[in-house]
Amino acid sequence: MSSDLLVDLGEDPATAQLGQLKLSTIEDQQWPPDESGLSKSETDVSQDFVAGSPHLPWDHPFYDIARHQIIEVAGDDNFGRKVIVFNACRMPPQHQLDHHKLLMYLKGTLDQYVESDYTLIYFHHGLTSENKPSLGWLRDAYREFDRKYKKNIKALYIVHPTMFIKTLLFLFKPLISFKFGRKINYVSYLSELEAVVKCDQLLIPARVTEYDNKLRAALKPSTQPPASPPHSPPLPHQ
């Protein structure tokens, strides 16, 4: 079954690596070494850290991450839960982003809300082979996000999912608890989010909105009126 899912991924060399993962031995993989590390001062979230804010002072350890607005706090959802947004399209090319610091920044943001119920929304559109994190980063994320972060997350919404993200979750399925798996939701169109949160408060990137409009336009029937059927002469008894 997994081989069928990977058929459409062959054109992406980075994605093709997923097919080489062994579900039962994922912890034994020879993951690539981390290219950079953080000092203790960088891993400690300072008191003036504003979760998900792009307006950190230029000398803040996480300024270079926050300025991209990859991670944002977008108020509360319709159920009063804090909403954390991850925008894949705002991730710069791999060589321009310290993914380890990005992981620490995400943890620092979540740390301020994990004691209460919260919702995570991931906008997948815009993730490409140029800005896609390495498998090593995914390994680190898998290890870092323990029960502390999973306990009170009430829902993870993956907006505009592709075959890549579905395959990734399929490969990691043996590592995901049944309880957490039930919290993962695929969202095909932005309008579907309205049942959970007001989209206006999410500050959705223009690229994501444009992509959503294209998807919806592709579903609309042609606006051209149907051709009139050819007229036939009336039957004798008419």
Burial class from Cβ neighbours inside 10 Å (0-12, 13-18, 19+) for residue 215 reads middle
Contact call for residues 54 and 89 (beta carbons, < 8 A): no
Q: Give the model's pLDDT for residue 60.
A: 80
Q: Which has the higher per-residue pLDDT, 179 or 96?
A: 96
Q: Is 160 left (phi over 0), alpha (psi -120 to 50) or beta?
A: left
pLDDT for residue 187 is more than 70: yes
Which range scores top for mean pLDDT: 8-12, 55-59, 84-88? Answer: 84-88
| Whole-prediction pTM | 0.72
What integer best gives the mean pLDDT of the chain?
76
pLDDT confidence band for 169 (50 / 70 / 90) = confident
Q: Per-residue pLDDT tens for 28-75?
A: 444 444 444 444 444 444 445 555 555 677 778 888 899 999 999 999
The structural domains of the chain, with segments of one domain joined by +, span: 2-12+47-217
Q: Which has the higher per-residue pLDDT, 9 or 150?
A: 150
pLDDT confidence band for 211 (50 / 70 / 90) = very high
Q: Which of 41-50, 75-84, 181-190 has the lowest mean pLDDT?
A: 41-50
Q: Give the model's pLDDT for residue 53.
A: 58
Confirm or reject CATH 3.30.70.580 for domain 2-12+47-217, answering yes or no.
Answer: no
Neighbouring CB atoms inside 10 A of 142's CB total 14
pLDDT confidence band for 177 (50 / 70 / 90) = confident
Q: Which has the higher per-residue pLDDT, 197 or 31?
A: 197
CA-closest candidate to residue 19, choices 164, 158, 139, 181? 164
What length is written for the chain? 238
Q: Per-residue pLDDT tens for 119-159?
A: 999 999 999 989 988 877 776 787 788 788 888 899 999 99
3-state secondary structure at position 153:
strand
